[in-house]
Each structure stands twice: as structure tokens, then as C-alpha cells.
Structure 1
């Protein structure tokens, strides 16, 4: 998708904070579901740079709105690490396309020191749901997969719905995998209630807290000039804060179990604490971990009840 500097869509032009001469538009960043551009503008006093993400797919409107709402909330909580969102909208010349507009920031692919990142993430996690329920006020997207953020009462209900959506998405890509279908059924019957129900029963409870939703290496970088932390591309919802560690189970990422261990030491985890690693493995939804969890909890909740009576 190319953009001619002379034919920026009128909706984008109207959203730009500076209404002067556009001197350059260059491609910057690309995914399977969006295309990014750097827009350079000159006026009499200064040069201005903006970043725009163009979405040209069936759910373009919801993708743009979800990112704008997520980044707006993030900017309220950790403005030092979030580039302020400017606008989102639909093209006037083509109502199948949407855009998300913000300021341009030159970033380096490395994450900030653990102490700085933990401080930022803990600020996010301390934001409680305005409704007291799990969910979010608009749909958000994990990549190009839509997250159903309809409000619900329990984390088990919310996560089960999200997990079913994730598995359905994977099955569509795999053109239906029988092994995954069998694993999923056992996971829902035994492992999900066994690991998540104890969080909200037996005198325990968890508050729906804001999660970033897609916290991994590519979305946590540093400003090239200032070296300040920069977080972007969130998939926000109010859920169980431990969900944010689901991308950190592999050593191939620089944000991995080492960061998680430091977070645990400084901020703590939910009870039962001894099942933390298994909960994060469940959130990660890796087939090998699915098999391990099924083997470890073959009796589901009955196994927990038997353990309690010993």
C-alpha cells in the first residue's frame, strides 16, 4: 500500500495537529494486518514528525479504535513511556480503511533496565476495573485476532472465552488439528478450572486489573535519543495481572523468566503462589505446556479437593 504525499486522505489531513506542508512520507514498520508510515511536516518555526498506521482489512475500524483507547489509557498511567495518541478514524475516500495517528519516535530494539520496566508495569497493574468486572469497554486485538472484551464476573469465565477464541483461530490456520482439539477439550474440562478457580474461591479473590495484553520484546523498546522506555501496541483489558507474563516463558526472548522472577520478588503474585508457573504456562497456550499441565492435573478440581482433605 503506497501513499502519495499529494493525496493524503482528507480524514488524515484533518487529524494532523499541524496543517502545513507535508514534505515526506516514508514507509515505517509493517505487519500482516497494518502498514506504518512516517509523515514529515515543515512549518515556519519547526519540523514535525508523525506516525500513522493504516489498516485495510475487515475489522479495520475496531483495530484502530482498540489501539487508540488502549494507548490513551496507557498514556494516562505511564505518560513517560507512551507516545501520546492523536486520533483514529476512517478514510473519507474509502470507508473500508482506518488509521491510527500518533507522534513519531525513533526507537531501538532493546528493553529498559528491569527496575524501570517493573515500575511501569506495576503502575499499569494497579489500575482497577471501573466496573469491578473483567473485560474492556471496546474490543482489542492480539495481533490480528479480536479479543472479546464483553464484561463478565469471573476471571475463569473471561479467560475461558479468550482461550476458546485463541484455539478457534489456531484451528482455522491449521485447517483443523485433531490433536489440538483433543488437548483443548481436556484443558477446558480439567486444567482451566483446576488452576483458575482457586484464585477466586476458598476465601481468595482477585481484582480485575489492567493488563498490557501483549507484553514482549517487540513492544518494549527505548527511545534512540533519550534512552527512555517506550511501550506500544497493547491489547488492553482488565484481567488477572499475571497474564502479562504469558509471552515471557521462552528464553529466546530478552524479556523472559529472569524478568518475571524479579517482578515476583518485588511485587508478589496471586495465591496459591506455588501454582504461579503453571498459571503462566496456561496463559501462554503452548502445545507442549498443554500436554504437561494435563499430565500434572489429570483429576482437575477433584484432585484439588482430595489434596485439601489430606
Structure 2
């Protein structure tokens, strides 16, 4: 997708443009800024598997200057990506203005081939380093605690995407029902992308019928309730940054929806993320403790991480086998504990010596 768009951008570059740089900016992007705003430069910036990205330097009529980050994607799916991210970032910004770059606008390019959509946000110059655990987790816990679902339900008002994959986030009253639909959606995509695997299919069906209701319905026992909290939903180190000038931690590339807050940090369980360092989860729990029953927190964390692993296997097909095996073994662990098979029906676990390995750490995608 990004190759086709980049070719189009390069070929349509106005040779006598009045601004510097190697990126052609469609006039539809500039129409979202005040009249007489001048584009000083536009240059390719960052790397992405799913989109084309650039940095814009603008000057307003009063002489003030500012920089923006531009992201573009093609075809109807590009609309889903850009509209979803704009709405996700707006919702996060509304709840936590000191945690996300300010979203600016989204829309459709005027040129027709390929059909292209864009998202513009505030540009923040960031250092490439792991986020400070306290700075990140305190703000994240505050976001989860203070955010309020506009419908008092779980989900989101528009489809959001994790990587290139659209999530199933239609509103639901019940967290167990919502999570099952969320998980089933990516399970179907995984089998379409990575092929059938009978034992995995068997484990997934038992997980959904037995384990998910057992673990998630327990959150509502003894008068407890599951609060729909706004989560980033794709939070790993590649989607965080630290301002070079202020040291402030930011999160971006959101796939947001309203969920049980504990789902956020389950993405930190995957060993392919550097943020899997236990200091991050331990620090988060310092600011936002486990839900009741507390002794089942780690099992819920494992359950929620299965969603992230399955969708990762769809987004990164070359690494799909290794991550499917990781998810599969986690399923068997939870099934053995909460909804065991008869001894002669239990699928075989993938031994560590037989597991595929990731070819590299997770790619940084924007």
C-alpha cells in the first residue's frame, strides 16, 4: 500500500512548488489550515509498513511557525485507518492532553488515483528511548481512571485499526460479550491469513466457551463492576516517545476503544516487545491496582494478551507461526486451569524446542 502511494506522491510532485523538501502535499491537507498559511517545507519522515509519512513546516499569516506530522494511506481501507486514528487520538487528547500529540485533521486527497486519505497531528520532536516507567504509567493510569465512555458501554463510535487490521469495536453493554466478539473477529482473520490448524481451532473454541466467561464474569461478582476505560489498545515502545525539549512522555498511533483497563497492559506481556520488561507492568499496578478477584489478575493478563498475539500474527505474516504458537500454548495453560479437556481430547502443547522463532524484534510502524 505505501509503495503505491509513495510512487504516486513522487510522480505528482509539483516541480515549481514554492516550498522545500521531497514530499508533495495535496492541497486538501492545506485547506484545513487558516487562510494565508504558507507551507515552507514538506519532507518524508519516519518509516511505516502501512502508510506514507511526512513532516510539514508551516508559517501562519502572523509570521508564527509550526510543524505537523502527516500520515497517508490508500483505498477504502486507508479511510478506515486514517479516520479511525484521528478519532482515536481525539478521544485520547480529550481525556489526557499532556499524553498525546494534538490531532489536527483528517480527510481525502483531491487526486483520484490512488484514492488516498490523510491524518495530520502536532509534530513533537522525540528521542528514541524507552519511556520512563513512572512518567508513562502514572499518566496512563490517570487516563484509565478518569475517562468515561459516552455510552457507558464497551467499544468505540467508529472502527479503529491495530496496524493494518480493523478491530471489531461495536458498542456492547457487557465486557465478556464484547471481548468474545473482539477476539473471535481476529481469530477468523488469523485462519484466513495463516491457514488452518485444527488443534488451535479446538483450543480457541474451548477458550471462548469456557475460559473467557469464567474469568471475565468473575469481575462482576460480589457487586463489583467493570468500568469502560479508554485505552490506547496498541501500546508498545514503538508507539511511545519522549519529547527532546521537555522530557514529556507521549503515546500515539492509537487503536483506541473503551475496555477493561487491564487489557491495556496485556500488550506488554509479549516477549517481542521491549516494554515486556516487568518494571512497566509492576509500575502500572502501583498506580492502578488489579481488579477483583486480584488473585486472577495474571490469568486475565494472559487471556487479554492472546488477543494481541493473534492480531499480531495477522499483521506480521512472516512471524505469524511463532506468535500463533505462543498464543496457543497460553490458551492451553488457561484451559487446563479453568475449562480442562478430557485427558484423551486435550491437544498437544508445542514444546519450546519445536517453536518457531521471530526473525527479529517487532518493526517500528507509524
Common fold, TM-score beyond 0.5?
Answer: yes
Q: Which residue matches 1:28?
A: 45
Deviations 1:79-134 (A, max 9, x none): 22221111001112228211001122221222332222122102210212121111
Aligned residue for 1:204? 224
What root-mean-square deviation, in Å, do the aligned CA atoms of Structure 1 and Structure 2 show? 2.1
Distance in 1 between residues matched to 2:222 and 2:215, nearest whole Å: 13
Classify 1:252/1:148 alpha carbon distance in 2 versus 1 (closer, same or farther; 3 Å). closer
SS at match of 1:25: strand
Cα deviation 1:9-45 (Å, max 9, x = unaligned): 2211212457444343222223332111112235683
- What residue ranges of structure 2 are gaps of 5+ in the alignment? 1-5, 18-23, 307-326, 342-366
Q: Which residue of 1 aligns with 2:104?
A: 86
Quick check: 103-112 or 41-50, which moved more? Answer: 41-50
Count of aligned positions: 300
1:223-246 residue CA offsets vs partner (Å, 9 max, x unmatched): 122221111011111110000011
- Matches of 1:291 and 1:278, distance apart in 2: 12
Q: Which of 278, 282, 290 is 2:299 aligned to? A: 278
Q: Contact 1:112–1:228 at 8 Å: present in 2 too?
A: no
Superposed CA deviations along residues 232-277 of structure 1, whole A, max 9, x for unmatched, are 0111111100000111114553423321112223321111111111
* Aligned twin of 1:236: 256
Work out which of the residue numbers 103, 109, 125 in structure 2 matches 1:106. Answer: 125
| TM-score, scaled to structure 2 | 0.76
User: Could you tell me which residue of structure 1 aligns to residue 140 of structure 2?
Assistant: 121
The aligned residue for residue 57 of structure 1 is 75
Q: Distance in 1 between matches of 2:131 and 2:34?
A: 30
Deviation at 1:57, TM superposition (A): 3.5
Unmatched tracts of structure 1, length 5 or more: 301-310
**Residue aligning to 1:180:** 200
Asked whether the 8 Å contact 1:111–1:229 carries over to 2, the reply is no
Change (3 A) 1:34 1:299: same
